[in-house]
């Protein structure tokens, strides 16, 4: 097998080359603290609940022969166990955690005992294989097994987990290859996993199987349902779609696999189709937080500009899948716009999910909580994905496990290299090692807009350090030695023969700003949102002293100002409206109070007990 490199996505070609997670060490700050919390609390929390809910014991039952009677959890619970295994594998590769390494070894041994001789492995359908490809999630579960196996292979080498993964992949190729079942899974995921396993092992058959799944998608091999075949992304071939549609997580996972196949096979038409879909989805089906998905019943995107804040579903898994897709497109093209969306999504739609302890999570992420929510269930799996408060665990706990694996591998999304030098895409305090240089990134971003990159070691030739300038950052400056220049959004490139001790200082303007929505988003027409740097802000009822958020009438358009920490304040008017028997007719003048509206970062809301919240606020009409 090729020498493994420890990163989640490792294309063999593309504009940019990723850096291994053990070569990018986060050193505190916003994301470093969250990564350590993930290692110390979240991964262990997920393991505890896997055992408590019986999902891990399903594999023991498979060995003991007590399935299906002993099985617990939903039909896809195997996948969530695999995601925790992936998180542990990345964390072992990042920090050398011996306790988690032992967990992975034990789990691999259990899987090896549970796996059938032909490679089949599933605790739900072993007596009725592939009998429900629409809803059964068997191939989806294999995909997460393969991603766990790739993480283990790249961080620790071959063992039981990687052997189980390869046997399962060989089984899939035998069952669903050119001479096998001409079907696809109702939940895409295996496509990108197969490509990554090909990259990790060099086995071409896995790439060919992934391509076959992509080519079959949209040929209507799955049954029609009440939501339509678009729910499964089986209504139109990938190359013919103009926008991401249907079930959000499924669509984004499929797009990830399509990019991977396109890059490895040189299919520019397929890559161009996904870029086109990404552009249209960003332009008309993405919330200001980077979240995606406005429909609850089928967890779908909805139509263009169907972005009502109080109906936002914006599943945490969808935000993570969006990051995964944008990262692949960034590696393929080198274009800053993909890194911009990663930043927005990470700081808002992803960071909002876990609480400050890393042990309770939002499944869906509304932008407007109208009523005080009930307290969540804490001693059992919560049945309410649309709960108004974070819960420790859900009957469907794809989101906590997805958070765990993403934070464990987050260092792999910070920087890249190419033939010209090093590119810094995300601003995180970090030590970065590359072939051309070792760098130390010092920053308190997003609290502060100053980012200093120190050169600790360098080759003796010229190379280029490229630093992303976010799309919102007008009039940013870069200082190198005694030279300072204003830089525009995109990549600021500094090429020189560097020496150890050199540094550049990026200053990003962190003035708070109002953001107006596209008027075609009729649910928030006449409203504004507050932003500062990459952070979206919200009003939370616990901060408002004069009125409930439901009675907030208008804001003045005077820009909000920092008022200590990350809090913003802005003048506001609060209304007391009279009761009336019919809510339409001639305009009435409400009684009003002038006050100050206190905004907090969206990712922090809901940490102080039950509250109401809103991101978009009515704007005072221009005078």
Per domain, the residue ranges of the chain are 17-366+376-413, 415-507, 513-618
**pLDDT tens, 391-403?**
999 999 999 999 9
| Multiple choice CATH, 17-366+376-413, 2.40.40, 1.50.10, 1.10.10, 3.90.930 | 1.50.10
Minimal CA–CA distance to 531: which of 287, 281, 288?
A: 288
Residue 584 confidence (pLDDT) above 90: no
Structure tokens at 373: 């929510």
Q: What is the mean pLDDT of residues 28-34?
A: 97
pLDDT class for 572, splitting at 50, 70, 90? Answer: confident
pLDDT score of 385? 72
Reported residue count of the chain is 623
Question: What is the residue-averaged pLDDT of the chain?
Answer: 93
Helix (H, G, I), strand (E, B) or coil at 32: helix
Residues facing 485 on adjacent strands: 478
In sequence order, what are the residues at sequence separation of 6 or more whose Cβ sits closer than 8 angstroms to the Cβ of residue 617?
527, 528, 529, 530, 539, 552, 555, 572, 597
Residues 6+ apart with CB under 8 A from 560: 512, 514, 530, 532, 537, 568, 569, 570, 599
What crossing angle do the helices spanning 190-201 and 248-265 adopt, rounded to 10°?
30
Residue 588 is predicted with a pLDDT of 60
Ramachandran area for residue 576 (φ above 0: left; ψ -120 to 50: alpha; else beta) = beta
Compute the distance between CA of residue 478 and CA of residue 464 in angstroms, rounded to an integer.
14
Cα 456 from Cα 356, distance rounded (Å): 34
Residue 2 scores a pLDDT above 50 = no
What pLDDT, on the 0 to 100 scale, is given for residue 1?
47
At residue 139, does pLDDT exceed 80?
yes
- Taking only the tens place, the pLDDT of each residue in 322-364 is 999 999 999 999 999 999 999 999 999 999 999 999 999 999 9
| Alpha carbons 217 and 236: distance in angstroms, whole number | 7
Residue 557 has pLDDT above 80, yes or no: no
Confidence band (pLDDT; 50, 70, 90) for 623? very low
- The winner for highest mean pLDDT among 124-128, 300-304, 568-572 is 300-304
Q: Which pLDDT band holds residue 23 (cuts at 50, 70, 90)?
A: very high
For residue 3, pLDDT over 60 is answered with no
Q: pLDDT-based confidence at 553, cuts 50/70/90? A: low
pTM: 0.96
Render pLDDT for 450-473 as a digit per residue (tens, 0 to 9): 999 999 999 999 999 999 999 999
Indicate left, alpha or beta for 73 from its phi (over 0: left) and psi (-120 to 50: alpha): left
User: pLDDT tens digit string along 204-225?
Assistant: 999 999 999 999 999 999 999 9
Give the C-alpha separation, 352 to 537, whole Å: 11
| Percent of all residues in the chain with a pLDDT value above 70, rounded to a whole number | 94
- Above 60 in pLDDT, residue 231? yes
* Residue 17 confidence (pLDDT): 97
What is the pLDDT confidence band of residue 371, given thresholds at 50, 70 and 90?
confident
Q: Could you report the per-residue pLDDT of 239-292, keeping only the tens digit for each?
A: 999 999 999 999 999 999 999 999 999 999 999 999 999 999 999 999 999 999
Residue 547 has pLDDT above 90, yes or no: no
pLDDT at residue 204, rounded to an integer? 98
User: 379, 388, 384, 407: which is closest to 319 by C-alpha?
Assistant: 407
What's the whole-number mean pLDDT along residues 156-168? 97
Grade residue 620 by pLDDT with cuts at 50, 70 and 90.
low
The pair of structure tokens assigned to 453 is: 């990159």
pLDDT higher than threshold 50 for residue 558: yes
User: Which region, left, alpha or beta, applies to residue 575 given φ > 0 means left and ψ of -120 to 50 means alpha?
Assistant: beta
Right CATH for 415-507 from 2.60.40, 1.10.3470, 3.30.43, 3.10.620: 2.60.40
Q: Which residue has the higher pLDDT, 585 or 89?
A: 89
pLDDT in tens, 52-98: 999 999 999 999 999 999 999 999 999 999 999 999 999 999 999 99
Asked if residue 621 has pLDDT above 60, the reply is no
Number of Cβ atoms within 10 Å of the Cβ of 586: 4
Structure-token pair, residue 110? 């259990």
Give the percent of the chain with pLDDT over 90.
85
Domain 415-507 in the same topology as domain 17-366+376-413: no
Q: How many CB atoms lie within 10 A of CB 550?
A: 12
Nearest to residue 43, comparing CAs of 80, 6, 5, 3?
A: 80
State the pLDDT confidence band at 550, using cuts at 50, 70 and 90.
low
Cβ neighbours around 228 below 10 Å, total: 14
What is the number of alpha carbons within 13 Å of residue 215 lying toward its C-beta? 12
- pLDDT score, position 5: 83
């Amino acid at each position: 097998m090729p020498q493994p490199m420890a990163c989640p996505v490792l294309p063999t070609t593309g504009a940019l080359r990723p850096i291994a997670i053990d070569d990018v060490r986060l050193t505190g700050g916003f994301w470093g603290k969250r990564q350590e919390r993930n290692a110390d609390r979240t991964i262990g929390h997920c393991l505890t609940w896997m055992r408590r809910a019986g999902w891990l014991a399903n594999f023991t039952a498979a060995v003991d022969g007590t399935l299906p009677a002993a099985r617990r959890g939903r039909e896809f619970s195997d996948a969530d166990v695999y995601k925790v295994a992936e998180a542990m594998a990345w964390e072992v590769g990042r920090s050398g955690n011996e306790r988690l390494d032992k967990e992975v070894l034990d789990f691999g041994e259990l899987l090896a005992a549970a796996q059938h001789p032909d490679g089949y492995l599933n605790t739900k359908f072993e007596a009725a294989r592939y009998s429900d490809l629409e809803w059964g999630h068997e191939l989806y579960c294999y995909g997460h097994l393969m991603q766990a196996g790739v993480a283990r292979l790249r961080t620790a080498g071959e063992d039981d987990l990687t052997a189980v993964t390869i046997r399962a992949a060989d089984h899939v190729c035998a069952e669903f290859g050119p001479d096998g079942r001409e079907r696809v899974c109702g939940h895409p995921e295996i496509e990108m996993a197969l490509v990554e396993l090909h990259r990790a092992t060099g086995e071409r058959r896995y790439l060919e199987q992934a391509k076959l799944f992509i080519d079959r998608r949209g040929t209507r091999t799955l049954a029609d349902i009440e939501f339509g075949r678009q729910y499964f992304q089986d209504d139109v071939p990938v190359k013919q779609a103009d926008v991401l549609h249907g079930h959000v997580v499924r669509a984004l996972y499929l797009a990830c696999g399509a990019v991977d196949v396109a890059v490895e096979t040189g299919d520019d038409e397929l890559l161009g189709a996904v870029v086109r879909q990404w552009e249209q989805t960003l332009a008309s089906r993405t919330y200001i937080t980077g979240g995606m998905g406005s429909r609850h019943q089928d967890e779908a995107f909805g139509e263009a500009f169907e972005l009502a804040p109080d109906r936002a579903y914006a599943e945490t898994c969808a935000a993570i899948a969006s990051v995964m897709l944008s990262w692949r497109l960034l590696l393929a093209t080198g274009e800053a716009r993909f890194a911009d969306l990663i930043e927005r999504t990470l700081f808002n739609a992803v960071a909002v999910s876990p609480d400050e302890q890393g042990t309770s999570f939002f499944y869906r992420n509304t932008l407007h909580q109208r009523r005080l929510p009930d307290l969540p269930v804490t001693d059992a799996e919560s049945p309410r994905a649309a709960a108004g408060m974070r819960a420790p665990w859900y009957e469907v706990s794809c989101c906590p496990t997805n958070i765990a694996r993403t934070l464990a591998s987050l260092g792999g999304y910070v920087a890249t290299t190419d033939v010209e030098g090093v590119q810094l895409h995300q601003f995180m305090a970090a030590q970065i090692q590359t072939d051309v240089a070792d760098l130390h990134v010092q920053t308190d971003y997003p609290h502060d807009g100053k980012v200093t990159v120190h050169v600790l070691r360098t080759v003796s030739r010229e190379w280029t350090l490229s630093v992303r300038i976010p799309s919102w950052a007008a009039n940013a400056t870069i200082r190198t030695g005694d030279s300072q220049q204003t830089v525009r959004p995109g990549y600021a490139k500094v090429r020189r023969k560097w020496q150890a001790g050199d540094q550049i200082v990026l200053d990003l303007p962190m003035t708070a700003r109002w953001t107006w929505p596209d008027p075609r988003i009729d649910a928030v027409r006449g409203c504004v949102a507050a932003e500062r740097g990459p952070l979206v802000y919200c009003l939370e009822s616990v901060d408002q002293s004069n009125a409930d958020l439901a009675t907030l009438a208008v804001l003045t358009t005077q820009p909000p100002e920092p008022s200590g920490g990350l809090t913003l304040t802005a003048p506001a008017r609060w209304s007391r409206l009279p009761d009336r028997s019919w809510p339409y007719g001639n305009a009435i003048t409400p009684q009003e109070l002038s006050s100050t509206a206190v905004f907090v970062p969206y990712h922090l809301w809901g940490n102080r007990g039950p509250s109401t919240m809103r991101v978009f606020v009515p704007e005072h009409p221009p005078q």
